[in-house]
Chains A and B, each alone.
Chain A
Amino acid sequence: MMVNVERLSYSFGTHWALKDISFTLAKGEFLFLTGHSGAGKSTLLKMLYGALPVTRGRASVAGMSLNTLKKRHIPGLRRKVGVVFQDFKILPHRTVFDNVAMALEVRGMPRAHLERRVRAVVRALGLDTKSYSPCEHLSGGEQQRVAIARSMVANPELILADEPTGNLDFDLTMHLMDIFKQFNTYGTSIIMATHSREVLDCVPEARILHLQDGRVVAEGEQPPGSDTCSCPPAPDADMAGSGDDTDALLPEGGRS
């Protein structure tokens, strides 16, 4: 089991942002968190990568129990998980390359290997012409892609994505969802918070956890509906997201 959450609650002071949440995520599964703004999606994800402590209920991620997690184990947890933060959390003064490479550097990856991987991911996300621009010179959508690239570059077992396509137009959203899906196909588990119908439609086989005021109010498979994403639009001319590039960034032979 990649993620196991039992009766998890969390309060900011007197305000309960999460109430009695339970769910599981198997290896290689794709789960959407939906719900209106303020429903508790970000709070739940933050708990899963150790940014908020588990104070009530039980949770484990990638075989690590969050209840008994010591401070010194948090870096280990975060290296198993790739996170796309809702507010990106990229360093504006550093280049696209440096921001993406950061995730590999903290894991101590040798330089030559690191450069190859970073270039592949940056190209797959259509950022290769901006590789050496400081991120502060990029548009919001480009910064979001940098954040996505960083979450993927280390080939984590689990990707937690908090509204990763919030700033992107339709075509780009479809393209990125395609990349997420390819990772998922190769065995990466994904939890994605979104409130976009289009995004949900991209992964019809995904499970959905619908939150409202911190509670799970609906859970299950997607209702059969329009499947706009099964055949993604051709990438834009300026987007270099060809299949070859995407292959280069996936783990060899997939995940077992």
Chain B
Amino acid sequence: MIGRFLRLTLRGLADFRLHPVAQLLTMVAVAMVTLLTGLILTGFHTVNLELLKSRGQVEFQAYWKQDQSRDAVRADWDAIGAMPHLTDFATFTPEDALTELASTLGESGDFSWLAGDNPLPHSALVRFAVPPEAQEEGWAARLLTALKELPGVDTVNYTPFQTDLAQGWMTLSQVVIWPVLGFLGLVISLVVHNTIKLSLLTRMDEIEILSLVGASPSYIRWPLLTSGFLQGFVGASAGLGLLAGVHSLAADALDFAPFFIRIPFLPLEQMLMLAGGVTLVAMASSWVAVK
């Protein structure tokens, strides 16, 4: 029994030499579908990782009232320094601010004449990185309120851009990811199924003849299943190989200012799911080809 299955398996493998071109084309088609799907998944994965990095990051510019004493401001700064999830905290006294302004403006900016009566307030650049588990509803607004409520603080500016983008992406991807995955699955199934079906057309005679001389369906199917497995597996592996090639060429394509995005390769579990899915579809298609 085992010997028989082994022989049928070997026959499935040996059958590859009967229609080499058809088999090769099938594998190329499978590889291409795998590559395209891999590219789409990589795109998803990259955006996800990038936004994960910036998600929860928020930046505030705080300005103190002109009349605040140095000590009052320092007390506020200590309070900010004690706030949770603080990552960057740059403080500027009016003098610092003036020097900063002068250096930004370069040669033309000589503001030493202002030093006696500096019009600039105390200010600070405050950055928080709030981890996802601490992001309850309205967390950014609450931080804003906390800063505004400091006694000496005059105004607070808030750059919500990245946070909102990240939140938006989160919502969007949750809504979109399943339909997209479903669509990709459908495309893979259709393309791989039809390709395998076409490649089996070259073997319909054989299937018919085997059946006419009394072969059981499982006897007919086993070699086909073996070929289907091989076509799917080799095709998917080749597709992932191509994906790795494309990746090595393009990984650094966005790695410059202002993006600094290194495109990551697909995580192992996604690669396995992709290759496994393609192989399964190929085998299933070979299976249903025999009525």
Is the C-beta of A79 less than 8 angstroms from some C-beta in chain B? Answer: yes
Interface size on B, residues (CB 8 A): 15
Take A106-B219, A108-B4 as given contacts and tell me if A89 and B210 are in contact as well, using a CB distance cutoff of 8 Å.
no
> Chain A contacts of B213 at CB under 8 A?
78, 83, 102-103, 106, 150
Interface centre among A74, A89, A106 (most CB of B within 10 A): A106
A93, B214: Cβ atoms under 8 Å? no
Q: List 12 A-B contacts (CB under 8 A).
A: A72-B217, A76-B214, A78-B211, A78-B213, A89-B212, A93-B18, A102-B209, A102-B210, A103-B213, A106-B213, A106-B214, A107-B214
- Smallest CB–CB gap between B5 and chain A, Å? 11
Q: Which residues in window 187-219 of B have CB below 8 A to A?
A: 205-206, 208-217, 219
Distance (whole angstroms) from the CB of A245 to the closest CB of chain B: 23
| Residues 1-22 of B at the A interface (beta carbon under 8 Å) | 4, 18
Q: Would you call B212 and A83 a contact (CB within 8 A)?
A: yes
* Contact call A89/B209, Cβ cutoff below 8 A: yes
| Partner among B209, B211, B214 whose Cβ is within 8 Å of the Cβ of A91 | B209
Closest A residue to B17 using CB positions: A93
A window 63-100: CB within 8 A of B:
72, 74-79, 83, 85, 89-91, 93
* Nearest CB of chain B from residue A90's CB, rounded to whole Å: 7
| Alpha-carbon distance between A89 and B208 when the two chains are bound, in angstroms | 9
A76–B211 Cα gap in the complex (Å)?
A: 11
- Tell me what chain B mostly uses at the interface: helix, strand, loop, or mixed: helix
Chain B residues near A83: list those with CB within 8 A: 212-213
A43 to nearest B CB, angstroms?
A: 15
Residue of B nearest to A81 (CB): B214
Task: Convert A134-174 into 0s and 1s, putting 1 for each residue whose CB lies closer than 8 angstroms to a CB of B.
Answer: 00000000000000001000000000000000000000000
Q: How far is the CB of A164 from chain B (nearest CB, A)?
A: 15
Within 8 A of A (CB), among B201-242: 205-206, 208-217, 219
Interface size counted on chain A using CB atoms at 8 A: 21
Taking CB atoms, residues of chain A closer than 8 Å to B206 are 91
Interchain CB contact under 8 A, B209 and A106: no
Q: A106-B219, A108-B4 are in contact. Are A78 and B209 (CB under 8 A)?
A: no
A10 at interface by CB-CB < 8 Å: no
Q: Which of B237-270 contact A (CB under 8 A)?
A: none
Task: Give the docked Cα–Cα distance between A102 and B207 (Å).
Answer: 12
Specify the chain B residue showing the minimal Cβ separation from A92: B205
Task: Find chain A residues with CB under 8 A from B215 CB.
Answer: 75, 106
Closest to B18 in A: A93
- A91-B205, A91-B206, A106-B219 given as contacts; is B214 within 8 A of A79 (CB)? yes
Task: State whether B210 touches A106 (Cβ < 8 A).
Answer: yes
A103 contacts B209, CB within 8 Å? no
Q: How far in angstroms is the closest Cβ of chain B from A171? A: 28
Q: Which 3 pairs across A and B sit closest by C-beta, in order of nearness?
A: A78-B214, A79-B214, A106-B215
